[in-house]
Amino acid sequence: MSSSAAATSTIDRPPLSLLGSEPWRAAREYLSLRLTQTRPDAVGDGHPVIIYPGLGTDGNAVAPLRRHCERLGYTALDWGMGFNTGPRGDLEEWTRELAEHTLHLLQPYRQRATLIGWSLGGLYARELAKLLKSRVRQVITIGTPFNTSADPTHVGWLFKFLSGNPPVLDETARARLRRPPPVPTTSIYSRSDGIVAWQACVHARRSPRVQDIEIDGSHIGMGWNPAVLAVVEDRLAQRPGKWRRYIDPLPDGADV
């Protein structure tokens, strides 16, 4: 199933009906994972994987994803900054400080890292890959709204409460966020996301190194959604310089 990004200035927030059903849909996805999950073979090459949590969460929220990466045979790392309250102060300075912190995390490892970010954490992963491209293997974002000129989410109030700043960026910053990193980049999104508008999670232009992959699920439950874990497993298995597009083996999946 293919789709193209809508005009970034006309994206609406998800319907309130989807927002209201987020908790029980996320719980259903977690139950589905517990009922169907089998221990995968540890076939990974051990390269480091850093996972960035969403707004208002910490490493506990993405622990199922981190454990999944570990079981596959990769070195899964928490981002090491605790509770994600959003960038504070000058955005560029804050991003540079996060880049230095990320380099510190990667210091013990010779292999390039995969950066995975859920929601707001995906924006961190994309921007860090632009600054640290020689140390980054690929980027995977999960429900991350990078392609918009306005706030396409239902959590702008939370961002302002936690960071002290409104979720407003000038057009120069928005354009930078829309530009993909210079490494293979996968964006996982859901049309039934009740918090982030799915249209903001797809790239406006096609690229050999960029792929948008649609799954069916909630926003809250993406960190343990079996379909998301399957995509992550496939992407982590890509060898450096051997990037290939993901082909969903399930008939109801989508390859964009």
Task: Identify whether 249 is part of a domain.
Answer: no
Task: Identify whether 244 is part of a domain.
Answer: no
3-state secondary structure 12-35: CCCCHHHHHCHHHHHHHHHHHHHH
- pLDDT recorded at residue 156: 56
What's the pLDDT tens digit per position in 10-53?
677 887 877 888 888 888 888 887 777 666 667 899 999 999 99
Task: Identify whether 218 is part of a domain.
Answer: yes
Task: Identify whether 206 is part of a domain.
Answer: yes
Task: Identify whether 242 is part of a domain.
Answer: no
SS3 161: helix
Residues of the chain below pLDDT 50: 1-8, 157, 159-162, 251-256
Task: Identify whether 148 is part of a domain.
Answer: yes
| CATH number, domain containing residue 183 | 3.40.50.1820
Task: Identify whether 215 is part of a domain.
Answer: yes
- pLDDT recorded at residue 250: 56
Task: Identify whether 255 is part of a domain.
Answer: no
Residue whose C-alpha is closest to residue 227's, from 142, 119, 147: 142
pTM score, whole prediction: 0.86
Per the CB < 8 A criterion, the answer to whether 210 and 185 are in contact is yes
- Tokens matching residue 184: 């293979």
Q: CA 194: distance to chain centroid?
A: 16
For residue 38, the enclosing domain spans: 8-236
Total domains, the chain: 1
